[in-house]
Chain A
């Protein structure tokens, strides 16, 4: 290995942080026996990479180097803890102590275990999301806090509580058994989907999207696909995020303003992502009955493959929403089905269905119900009622790009 320049080292470490964090941490938890200790050891390993790769050269397999270093460090810490007669953390009490490992080729891929521990149903959902971003994506607590717009201290407390529960209640570091795997995978997919959707349309802030968070969602979906290649629901989720993310560059204009699907420049859609997403979708749909993510991906694919807004096959989309309603009858799905109905049949039918949803408590603070009503009211030539609906939507959204969009629609009604 040749000596490397400082900038080269920094870039290599940053790259390894993004690509290898989950692998290194997952392999270290086994030795450390405790997530906190493993995180500390992994952080030390990255720091040591920064200080030694310049002189010794960048290793050919940075992930293996980091894992070996982190595991040695974890083992040292554990020995010292044992010497100090402190109670050993017992996350892995039953596992063999394989701390003697040195060969980079033999590192077990423990990332699935880490995922299932982070997304364990005994943890509160918001903590599962936070742990996933922190432990699998390597985000700092401050970054996770920013992603969900909560104070850093709140997020730190949330993560600490969850880790304490993992240790105290002995949440296992293990891939679930075959009979519970399906249900547990579904829980993991919900976490990854939430990460993606929070980035896709940010609940608040100046921009429509938080691209970094959406990218993390895509990366997590890809990781799951790599680790569970035969699972049709995993294929469905990756298809969904790719087919949605394909439209990313067309969703905002030069002023960072929101552009509706109807008005998007379809030449800006990422055809490679669409091709990859459609191939995954075929695989996901081959399993019967198709899962909810596969059905949502199929809806996204109809849009992606349509050459124009006017050429959209709304009957097909409506049929897919009917199937989705059977599979996953939620008020949000019903809302989206009502919109599809409005385009497939007519705005008054869509509006009637939306009005029927007015009493849904789950939609009471959901801006898209009012926004969709406003849109159909405009199409029906009822501007006064549309104004009331858009004003309601404006109150309900905290995303500034959506607020600008709604104000533009309101001023469009004036004439």
Chain B
């Protein structure tokens, strides 16, 4: 089995709107169906609430408001899943009721 990080992208406007609401029925349904594969997951606040910390190369940090990359599609949440292979992970990814879509990243095994 391998681990994959599924990053959920959605429209920034939708994220802002959904804030404060309880978890939607379609996510509830997805998590019940795929419960056996889900290791963890979380929903995020809008990107306007994120803070970036970049190393300045001189031992210090530059702290800025917002994510590294500003775009219309923003990270809305994630799942860490366990799957037999990429095909299974992609199948799980397709079932996530994401607004825009998801990215599926293999997680490195560090020994």
> Interface of A with B (CB < 8 Å)?
87, 94, 120, 122, 168-172, 174, 176, 180
Question: Which residues in B have their C-beta under 8 angstroms from that of A172?
Answer: 84-87
In chain A, what residue has the closest Cβ to B4?
A169
Residues of B within 8 A of A120 (CB): 86
Residue of A nearest to B90 (CB): A122
Interface of A is mostly: loop
- Confirm or deny: B111 has a beta carbon within 8 angstroms of a beta carbon on chain A: yes
Contact of B2 with A170 in the complex, beta carbons under 8 Å: yes
Q: Which residues from 97 to 111 on chain B have a C-beta closer than 8 Å to any C-beta of chain A?
A: 104, 106, 108-109, 111
Q: A169 near B84 (CB under 8 angstroms)? A: no
Q: What's the count of A-B pairs with C-beta under 8 Å?
A: 26
Return chain B residues, CB-CB under 8 Å to A174: 85, 87
B13 CB to nearest chain A CB (Å): 29
Residue of B nearest to A87 (CB): B111
Most A Cβ at <10 Å: residue of B2, B84, B87, B108: B87
Judge whether B84 and A94 touch: CB under 8 Å: yes
Q: Which of A87, A94, A168, A176 contacts B87 (CB 8 A)?
A: A176
Q: Given A168-B106, A169-B104, A176-B87, list of 10 further CB < 8 A pairs?
A: A87-B109, A94-B84, A120-B86, A122-B90, A169-B106, A170-B2, A170-B85, A172-B84, A172-B85, A174-B87
A163 to chain B, nearest CB (A): 14
Cβ proximity bits B2-36 to A, threshold 8 Å, 1 near / 0 not = 10000000000000000000000000000000000
Task: For the complex, give the distance between the alpha carbons of A172 and B83 in Å.
Answer: 11
Q: Is the CB of A171 within 8 A of B108?
A: no
Q: A87-B111, A168-B108, A170-B106 are in contact. Are A122 and B84 (CB under 8 A)?
A: no
Shortest Cβ gap from B108 to chain A (Å): 7
